[in-house]
């Protein structure tokens, strides 16, 4: 995951996202942000635009981060029909969008997340933006997501793998039991006198009448 290496810029930008100023924060879409960046001719002009536009949250509550990471796991470790299937590429896409949505005023389009991701990636802006987020917050987000990933593998995948392993291990024995049972049943059937069974059914029928 990305690491913060720009402490001076981080301090400058964080002042735009103090609690008392939340209502005055202007949210901006990824597409609008990238479009404006593209029109800046020099790196200095781009930096000035970023620092003048980007607003960064200096802290998010732990329980909120946990809930967000739960959603990332739910949408990248399971298919829509509930089957367990890890999609690491989707997980990274959700990680980037969640990190920016949580800590900055840049917003992904929920109907075009992949398109927004590609725009940011194409112009090398993902790491640039993340570097403005406090390093401790990025580290906490990464740690929670890693813990959630480990939990799902421990709580869901490993028990299923264990059961599957046991089934494979005991399959020959189970197969042998089934064959023995069927063999014994076949021997019993061969020894049955069909005429006696018919007689018993007839007797039972008349006894009831």
pTM of the model: 0.67
Q: Which helix (H) or strand (E) holds 166?
A: helix 158-190
Question: Do the Cβ atoms of 34 and 86 come closer than 8 Å?
Answer: no
Summary mean pLDDT of the chain: 78
Instruction: Spell out where 30-142 has E strands.
Output: 106-107
How far from 190 is each of 13, 32, 60, 180, 202, CA to CA, in Å?
88, 82, 76, 15, 22
The pLDDT score that the predictor gives to residue 16 is 47
∠137-143-144 over CA atoms, to 5°?
90
In the predicted model, is pLDDT for residue 13 greater than 70? no
Q: Which of 124, 64, 123, 75 is nearest to 99 (CA)?
A: 64
In the predicted model, is pLDDT for residue 12 greater than 50? no
Cβ neighbours, 10 Å, residue 113: 16
Which tokens sit at 146?
Answer: 């890693």
Residue 119: strand pairing partners: none
Residue 14's pLDDT band, with cuts at 50, 70 and 90, is: very low
DSSP helix/strand/coil, 202: helix
Cβ neighbours, 10 Å, residue 186: 9
Give percent helix, percent strand, percent coil of the chain, each to the nearest 5: 75, 5, 20
């Amino acid at each position: 995951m990305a690491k913060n290496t720009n402490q001076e810029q981080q301090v400058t930008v964080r002042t735009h996202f103090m609690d008392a100023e939340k209502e005055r924060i202007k949210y901006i879409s990824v597409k609008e942000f990238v479009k404006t960046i593209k029109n800046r001719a020099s790196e200095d002009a781009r930096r000035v635009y970023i620092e003048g536009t980007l607003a960064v949250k200096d802290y998010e509550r732990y329980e909120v981060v946990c809930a967000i990471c739960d959603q990332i796991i739910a949408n990248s470790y399971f298919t829509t029909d509930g089957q367990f299937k890890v999609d690491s590429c989707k997980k990274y896409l959700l990680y980037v969008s969640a990190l920016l949505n949580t800590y900055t005023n840049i917003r992904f389009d929920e109907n075009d997340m992949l398109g927004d991701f590609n725009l940011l990636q194409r112009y090398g802006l993902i790491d640039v933006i993340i570097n403005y987020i406090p390093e401790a917050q990025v580290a906490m987000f990464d740690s929670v997501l890693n813990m959630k990933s480990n939990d799902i593998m421990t709580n869901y995948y490993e028990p299923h793998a264990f059961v599957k392993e046991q089934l494979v291990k005991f399959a020959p024995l189970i197969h042998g039991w089934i064959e023995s049972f069927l063999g014994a049943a076949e021997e019993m059937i061969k020894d049955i006198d069909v005429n006696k069974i018919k007689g018993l059914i007839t007797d039972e029928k008349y006894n009831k009448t």
